[in-house]
Amino acid sequence: MESDALLNEEFEPPGCPAGLAGGESFSGNFLPPWTEADHQPVTAAKAHRFKESRHAREFRRRFFPDTTDKEWRDWHWQFRNRIRDADTLSQMILLSEDERQAFLHPGGALPFAITPYYASLLDASDARQPVRRTVVPVIDERFHAPGEAGDPLNEDMSSPVPGIVHRYPDRVLFLVTSICSTHCRYCTRSRLVGNNVRNITAEQWDRAIAYIAENDHIRDVLLSGGDPLTLSDDALSGLLSRLRAIPHVEILRIGTKAPVVMPQRITPALTRMLKRYHPLWMSIHVTHPDELTPEMTRACVRLADAGIPLGSQTVLLLGINDDVETMKRLVHGLLQMRVRPYYLYQCDPIPGSSHFRTPVSRGLQIIQGLQGYTTGYAVPTYVIDAPGGGGKIPLLPAHAVGRDNGDLLLQNYEGRLYRYPDSETAATGIH
């Protein structure tokens, strides 16, 4: 039975993880070579049969030998035993000099934390491994480039009450917690995440809910943070029921990375509870195909079976997922998990993020490499969240390339030109 003891509270750092043999230190890449099978998303039918992926089993055997199956599969255990310092991490992976220096001289506000499960996905010897780069700090975080800002989207300026960002007329972002189980190094809300001082209080929840209730044009509430799925079932249920009781709130959404970094969080009890608050949608933050494990598949299957429409949000990251082949593997794997690729974000200019940012042309090339070459459902919308608070602006490769004798000239995905007899020249504004 699920324990609901965790109500948005930080645990003490675990120090040396339970079961890590005293004095044991890194002695090479403990992982067996990654095989194709490790990265194959499993079908819904098979998902319930998987208990633990091979690399997670190996990792647990080595670093948490006394941990039981029950503990490993308990999200509270995963959260309590997060790896939060260089000493503990360096017993699991060989830190590069760059990473070691970054721990000694942190560059920004975001602390370090990863769940044991997510740590099992890291390559122990290759500091360039994409998944590892997303969570292990490097010294580049100390370099602040022009145009970077702590709150690049100006969310604080669009906040009528603490915890609410009201940018678009009919919907609000509700930051319900500042806690995440695993910290992404490129986090847009690094000014807030992992910072206990700024954790959201019950009184702020009350004010935020009152604001939503008083503004009857708000029909859509997106819960985010931090990660709302670090809240206990009871706390989340209480929040959802209060929002559901507001007559003009039509849909509720949750933005989370839990199915990716702590899939143990997606329990049958959680999905049973979430089902009570339909229509409820979920956006899952996914970065790379290496994250598409049997554990994540099982989490997504449970959510989808509970009738929750699933979309993915992916941040475009330099050297991590910024090529067509990687992105294709990611979006194809997601569709097999019943997750619709939703947004591909240009990386926001938070301080110390320039080593993650690609030119915008790279994002357009990726969309061009997907559009027409794969299922339409697999193609996310590429957006820049406009610095300063302009909202999401979609970017598309140009397909309407001109006009000739009243015809609209269109370029297809292979670069071939076609004509469309378009009589509404004036209305389209394309001349």
Closest by CA to 26, choosing from 83, 89, 88, 94, is: 94
Segment lying near ligand SF4 (by CB under 6 A), choices 50-58, 180-188, 294-302, 415-423: 180-188
124 touching ligand SF4, by CB under 6 A: no
**Is 189 an active-site residue?**
yes
Which region among 51-59, 177-185, 242-250, 380-388 touches ligand SF4 (by CB under 6 A)? 177-185
187 binds ligand SF4 (CB under 6 A): yes
Q: Is 357 in the site for ligand SF4 (CB under 6 A)?
A: no
Min dist CB 41 to ligand SF4, Å, is: 21
* Smaller CB separation from ligand SF4, 120 or 177: 177
Residue 393's Cβ-count burial label (10 Å; 0-12, 13-18, 19+) is exposed
Looking at 60, 285, 355, 357, which residue binds ligand SF4 (CB under 6 A)?
Answer: 285
Q: What is the nearest approach in angstroms of ligand SF4 to the Cβ of residue 356?
A: 12
Nearer to ligand SF4, 137 or 369 (CB): 137
Task: Name the minimum Å distance from CB 431 to ligand SF4.
Answer: 42
Q: Which of 84, 189, 191, 253 is catalytic?
A: 189
- Site map (CB under 6 A) of ligand SF4, residues 229-268, x = contact: ----------------------------x-----------
Per DSSP, the residues of 80-99 read: HT-B-SHHHHHTTS---HHH
Say whether the peptide bond before residue 226 is cis (omega within 30 degrees of 0). Answer: yes
| Distance set, CA 402 to CA 387, 408, 428 (Å) | 30, 6, 12
29 Cβ contact partners less than 8 Å away, ≥ 6 residues apart: 123, 124, 125, 126
Q: Find residue 223's DSSP bridge partners.
A: 174, 254
The neighbour count for residue 396, using CB atoms within 10 Å, is 12
Query: With CB under 6 A as the contact rule, which of the stretches 178-186, 292-300, 341-349, 365-373 interacts with ligand SF4?
Result: 178-186
Cα distance between residue 428 and residue 431, in whole Å: 8
82 sits near ligand SF4 (criterion: CB under 6 A): no
| Tokens 């008083």, residue located | 214
Shortest separation between residue 243's beta carbon and ligand SF4, angstroms: 20
Q: Which two tokens stand for residue 84?
A: 């939060």
Contact, 393 vs 386, CB < 8 A? yes
Q: How far apart are CA 219 and CA 403, in angstroms?
A: 40
> Which residues sit at the interface with ligand SF4, rule CB under 6 A?
180, 183-184, 187, 189, 193, 225-227, 257, 285
Residues marked active site are found at 167-168, 171, 180, 184, 187, 189, 348, 385, 392
